[in-house]
Amino acid sequence: MKHYIQQLIEDIRKVSGDQKHRENLGLRYSDEPDPEDMAYVERFIEGKQQSIAWITGLEQAQFPPPERLTTEQQELLSIELEELLQNFHFVLDFPENYPVYLRYSFIRDFWLEKQVPMSFGESHIEFCDYEEENCPFPGYCTTCQDIKEEFKSSEGLTNKTDVTDINVEDLLMSAKEMEDFFRQRRNLTDHDDDNDHDNDENNDVPPNSDLPF
């Protein structure tokens, strides 16, 4: 098995760097976006799905079942296969603390799925359906629990600011505040009237002025 694993890794790396294979799929290698690569958007939305085996050129049958491999062999193949998939723009979303060797069975199963071939960007593959009782990574993922806690926090904040809890009287001015407000307003109005009166007197044109009209 050791010799077979070495040969399999060589085959994986060969496919990963095979530009001709990409061209045969109608893909173009690119790490940077440009106007031509934006065509991938249309392909991703309306493109025809193909099996990962068809896209990569490697069959699932080439990958030994996990029970026939050692932990070290599973880890080696997981690393190589994840890198291969990333070269084809597929990113598998595992918890950061999830052991690499345990990823092998998920990757092997993923080979039977169908996806749209991509030339650019990233297609994130999730294995979680966000149902805690069906968690694929028990003991390693806290996403569902985090979502629950965030929901509780948001719910608590909403309850604290519920409009039914607002005292309308607190938003209104007191009688004293209203009296002061209108007194200040009257004073400002009287002051403006005095200024307008003074301006009118200053703007009166003398009867014998030198103006041409």
The predicted pLDDT at position 130 comes to 83
| Of 53 and 25, the one with more pLDDT | 53
The DSSP 8-state label assigned to residue 116 in this structure reads: -
Please state at what angle helix 103-110 crosses helix 71-87, rounded to 10 degrees: 50
Task: List the structure tokens of 101.
Answer: 């060797």
The CA-atom distances, in angstroms, between 193 and each of 28, 62, 64, 65, 189 are 78, 95, 95, 94, 6
The predicted pLDDT at position 150 comes to 82
The predicted pLDDT at position 134 comes to 85
CB–CB of 117/87 below 8 Å?
Answer: no
Q: Which of 7-16, 35-44, 70-79, 187-196 has the highest mean pLDDT?
A: 70-79
The CA-atom distances, in angstroms, between 57 and each of 61, 77, 106, 111, 161 are 12, 16, 19, 11, 57
If pLDDT is split at 50, 70 and 90, which confidence band does 152 have? confident
Q: What is the mean predicted confidence (pLDDT) over 63-70?
A: 96
If pLDDT is split at 50, 70 and 90, which confidence band does 54 have? very high
Q: Which of 50, 4, 150 is nearest to 12 (CA)?
A: 4
Q: Which of 18-22, 74-78, 127-131, 178-182 has the highest mean pLDDT?
A: 74-78
- pTM higher than 0.85: no
The DSSP 8-state label assigned to residue 204 in this structure reads: P
Taking 3-state DSSP, the helix, strand and coil percentages for the chain, each rounded to the nearest 5, stand at 60, 5, 35
- Range name among 1-15, 19-33, 44-58 with the lowest pLDDT average: 19-33
